[in-house]
Amino acid sequence: MSTTPNAVISAWSERKGPLILTTVDTNGTPNSIYATCTKMLDDGSIVVADNYFKKTQENILAGSKGSILFITNDGKAYQVKGKIEYIKEGPIFDDMKSWNPAKHPGHAAAVLRVEEAYSGAEKLS
Ligand SMILES: Cc1cc2nc3c(=O)[nH]c(=O)nc-3n(C[C@H](O)[C@H](O)[C@H](O)COP(=O)(O)O)c2cc1C
C-alpha cells in the first residue's frame, strides 16, 4: 500500500519521457536508470518492468529503498521514495506482462511503495 498524494497521481498522467529510478547498494553508492516501461497502480504504487536491470536488480534484492523522479509536460518535477518489492509471480506480475511491450523480456515487476513524495523541495507527503 502506498501513500501517494493526489498531486502526484495527477502529475503522473501528465509525465513526459522516461522516469529515473535510483537505488543504492549496501555501501550506499547510488545507481540511477531510465525507465519507460512503467505504470502507476490504483493505490499509487509505481511499477517498473525489469527488462534489463543488472545493478538495479542487485540493489533491490539486497533490500534497497528507491526513488523515482519524473517531470511533467509543463516542466514540474516529482519525486517519490519508498521500499521496492521485486515481484516474479501473481497479479501484479501478470498485469506487468499485459502492458510491457512483448519485445522486452519482463523478468519481474519492481514496485515502489510510496512513503514520501516531493515536488522540488516541497514535501507533499
Ligand atoms: C530511455 C530508456 C528507457 C529504458 N527503460 C527501461 C525499462 O523500462 N526497464 C528496464 O529494465 N530497463 C530500461 N532501460 C535500461 C535501463 O536504463 C538500464 O540500462 C538497465 O537497467 C541496466 O542498468 P543497471 O545495471 O544500472 O540496472 C531503459 C533505458 C533507456 C535509455
Cβ of 97 less than 6 Å from ligand 1:
no
Distances (CA, A) of 44 to 25, 53, 54, 58, 116: 25, 22, 25, 24, 12
For residue 20, the model assigns a pLDDT of 99
Domains of the chain, by residue range, sit at 6-123
- How does residue 49 score in pLDDT terms, banded at 50, 70 and 90? very high
Of 16, 21, 50, 52, the one to substitute when testing ligand 1's pocket (max ligand atoms within 8 A of C-beta) is: 52
- How does residue 2 score in pLDDT terms, banded at 50, 70 and 90? confident
Which tens digits make up the pLDDT trace of 6-46? 999 999 999 999 999 999 999 999 999 999 999 999 999 99
The matching CATH number, chosen from 3.30.465.10, 2.30.110.10, 3.40.50.150, 3.40.190.80, for 6-123 is 2.30.110.10
Percent of the chain at pLDDT > 90 equals: 97
Q: Which three cell numbers stand for residue 83?
A: 521500499
How much distance in Å is there from the Cα of 19 to the middle of ligand 1? 10
How much distance in Å is there from the Cα of 34 to the middle of ligand 1? 5
In one-letter notation, the amino acid at residue 104 is: H
Residue owning the nearest CA to atom 26 of ligand 1: 55
Burial 75-96 (b: 16+ CB within 10 A, else e): eeebbbbbbbeebeeeebbeeb
In one-letter notation, the amino acid at residue 99 is: W
Of 22, 31, 34, the one to substitute when testing ligand 1's pocket (max ligand atoms within 8 A of C-beta) is: 34
Question: Interior CA angle at 77 toward 76 and 78, to 5°?
Answer: 125
Segment 89-98 mean pLDDT = 98
Cα 15 versus chain centre, distance: 13
CA dihedral 7, 19, 75, 82 (to 10 degrees): 40
Percent of the chain at pLDDT > 70 equals: 99
For residue 68, the model assigns a pLDDT of 98
- When the pLDDT of each residue in the chain is averaged and rounded to a whole number, the result is 97
Residue owning the nearest CA to atom 19 of ligand 1: 33
For residue 12, the model assigns a pLDDT of 98
Q: What is the pTM of this model?
A: 0.98
